[in-house]
Structure 1
Amino acid sequence: MMAYLRRLNVLASHVLAPSSNFPALEVEKNLCSSRKVRPVVIGGMVLDIQATPVGHDILPGTTTPGEVSYARGGVARNIAESLVKLGVQPFLISVVGDDMAGNHFLDHWQSLGLSVDGIRVCAGASTPVISEVYDRKGELAAAVADTHAVEVYLTPDWISSFAGEIQSASVVLVDANLDSAAIKQACKLASHADVPVWYEPVSVAKSVRATEVLSAMTYISPNEGELVAMANALPPIREESDTPATQVPALDGSFQNLALALVRQLEESIEKLLEAGVKYIVLTLGSEGAVLCSREPFGKISCVHYPALSASVVKLTGAGDSLVAGTLAALSESIPEVQALAYGMAAAKLTVESELNVAQNLSWTAITDGAEGLSPLAQELIISSRRTHRRLRVEA
């Protein structure tokens, strides 16, 4: 009981103030006392077809000898399964076709002891598929995604049918495979019950689907390209800079820490998203780690960088999903955001060392030592608001 109450207390500190975009609803005063400590995850279940060359570089216009494998994927599905391995039981809202891949996903989900009530099975539809080609370093070289079923069948009405689950959740995670209307409906339901929302942008093209409801987002987890795209979709908060709107700015060589150098170049985009109402930006930077950005008193912005843990990289797919899951799992254990991201980094390390999208050895115990060792290495960059001063300082 004490652990349950402790979790409820930390959730109360993370809840999102109701967005002005949505009319207020009467919410029972005892809602928090009856709230389940269970996240709701909304988004895609995707079959990954993964191809990796062996002994040769990829050449255009011809076949390359290598290995082809199948894996259970999808951003929301990966995050949900990672949460299970970290001791958190999520409720997944998703969609599959009535085909072999769909049946495989349902069977696997049930084998984890989880409910399939939120997974819509659509007659005549194909389960979402993505075909990925990696280079010899394990980095994604090209991919084609068919997530049409998520956009067509994961509708606002389907999401609304689980309003009770959403409004009693500890957090609602939404991935950008959903269309804009579905994302808005999920945010509306969560906002009415003061449930925090985590938005995972998925890709540059899809990241802008949440532009109208950024004020309802407690957390977003873009990479630098997605960050810039999301910021550019918003009205400017000051005169436009000379930086081309569709490009990530070049690095400033004055910083030894490349991640903080990139943050310095991206400060306008960061400020625009925080100004739009986002409370925390988890900026993922691949081999440079991740940065947690948030608004501080007096208009300042805190950007705390965690370097990536040393890893023997096998494959990079799923690392960002594990980072999100590890951070969410830490938050559920009353760990503050600025420390929770270290647990996400430790989870990502295990994933890049695995052939699977969700590492088989992922567990709370497995990520704890890495997270605790990483925390002292964090560095903070304080950005003064562009509407006051343009000073920058770095703190160890």
Structure 2
Amino acid sequence: MDQVNRMPIVVGGMVLDIHATASVPSSSKSTTPGKIEYMHGGVARNIAECLLKLGTKPYMISAVGYDMAGILRGRDLKTAVVCNMFDVDGELTAGVASVESIEQYVTPQWIQRFEPIVRSAPVMLVDANLSLEALSASCRTEFGVPVWFEPVSVAKSKRVASVTKHVTFASPNEHELVAMAEALTHGNVFGPIQWVQNKNSGSIESLFKELKPAILVLLDKSIKFVLVTLGPQGAILCSRLGPTSLNECLNGAKIIDARSELFEAVTGRCPTHRYTSSTLHKRGSHPFAMHFPALPATVGRVSGAGDCLVGGVLASLCSGLNIMQSVAVGIAAAKAAILVKTNVPHQYDLAALADDAGAVYNAARVVFQESQL
């Protein structure tokens, strides 16, 4: 099979990002001195760029306008734009997104034009910038391709309700997780997350206890792997499947290159036997949760870290690494993104990335495992 027909598919936002970073503490209702930068952005586009820089060539489906930011242009649409505001420490304080063109022009008809390529893909990522109709078209059962749902925001994460039965992976942060669970249960049954207000004093176990009801909703709705991203606290991987069951979700025949540079760099530092013993059950309906800690880093900007985490996981899965190794690589890829001012690093040092992944992998631990008895 031609390698071009075995690329992971990425469907969603290709955006012009405007980053406004204050150089002094900002004041409300007043302008603040600082720096304004333009760069390529969009959740799906950032993930696709990360994939490419980690050695996995993706196939992206999106739309941009015939305007200043346009690349592949349509005369009747405007390129999606997001304006993010950061404080002096590089932390996001507010943002405004104008991405209606993605919903309007990435249509079911546009997506269906790429059906032969989609059918041959090992995995498809869809971001929630897509309309409900486009999400449904992307997740068609007859494609036979596992779907990764990236929620994008609290408001848009609720769109998962229209495609849940087709989703294999989901990567919400804690707030998006709760919003998704509420959408799937048709009610506001989950309270605010108290742990977030006391991050320095709360344990990961206490956070998981708060998130567990929402996580179980997603798992009960047939989502096989839920990766809850926690910013400086890392991520929690939750599933009812054991770590060695991932190949049942991905079609191994569609994996791009099981001996890529990424694969070779990571396997030596993240030995597979660590999580193939009785530490975690291999299969069944008993949920487990594994915490992968974040790595210390000096913050340049956090805007692309979550996207690079997902991109790192996807690139690793496509290279033949297992889910535990892949999440460790994702955390390492996120660290590299935090260190820079761009959404995605200009390049990745695979040796350094593998070293960081090894540190995360060896520090990962089970925070919950339901008894099999």
- The TM-score bracket by the shorter chain reads 0.7 to 0.9
Residue 300 of structure 1 deviates from its aligned partner by 2.2
CA deviation string 1:302-353 (max 9, x = no partner): 1111111111111000101100111111112221112210000000000000
Q: In the alignment, does 2:9 pair up with 1:40?
A: yes
Who is 1:133 aligned against? 85
Query: Aligned partners of 1:160, 1:335: CA distance in 2, in Å?
Result: 30
Query: Aligned partners of 2:196, 2:343: CA distance in 1, in Å?
Result: 31
Matched residue type, 1:220: A
Asked if 1 retains the 8 angstrom alpha-carbon contact of 2:238 and 2:288, the reply is yes
Range that drifts further, 137-146 or 362-371: 362-371
Paired residue secondary structure (2:185)? coil
Query: Aligned partners of 1:153, 1:141: CA distance in 2, in Å?
Result: 30
Paired residues in the alignment total 331
> Cα–Cα, structure 1 residues 268 and 33, in superposed 2: closer, same or farther, change >3 Å?
farther
Query: Aligned partners of 1:136, 1:145: CA distance in 2, in Å?
Result: 21
> Cα–Cα, structure 1 residues 363 and 41, in superposed 2: closer, same or farther, change >3 Å?
farther
CA deviation string 1:368-396 (max 9, x = no partner): 111012211001122439xx99xxxxxxx
Who is 2:129 aligned against? 177
Paired residue secondary structure (1:233)? helix
Who is 2:345 aligned against? 359
Who is 2:173 aligned against? 223
TM-score norm. by structure 1 comes to: 0.79
TM-score norm. by structure 2 comes to: 0.83
> Cα–Cα, structure 1 residues 298 and 64, in superposed 2: closer, same or farther, change >3 Å?
same
Query: Aligned partners of 1:172, 1:366: CA distance in 2, in Å?
Result: 28
Give me the CA root mean square deviation: 2.4
Residue 298 of structure 1 deviates from its aligned partner by 5.5
Q: In the alignment, does 2:24 pair up with 1:72?
A: no
Matched residue type, 1:204: V
Who is 2:98 aligned against? 146
Identity of aligned residues (%): 41
> Cα–Cα, structure 1 residues 209 and 244, in superposed 2: closer, same or farther, change >3 Å?
closer
CA deviation string 1:267-301 (max 9, x = no partner): 11000100101010111000000111101456421
Give 1:87's match in structure 2, choosing from 36, 55, 70: 55
Paired residue secondary structure (2:238)? strand
Identify unmatched segments of 5+ residues in structure 2: 242-282
Paired residue secondary structure (1:215)? helix
Query: Aligned partners of 2:17, 2:162: CA distance in 1, in Å?
Result: 30
> Cα–Cα, structure 1 residues 295 and 53, in superposed 2: closer, same or farther, change >3 Å?
same
> Cα–Cα, structure 1 residues 63 and 384, in superposed 2: closer, same or farther, change >3 Å?
same
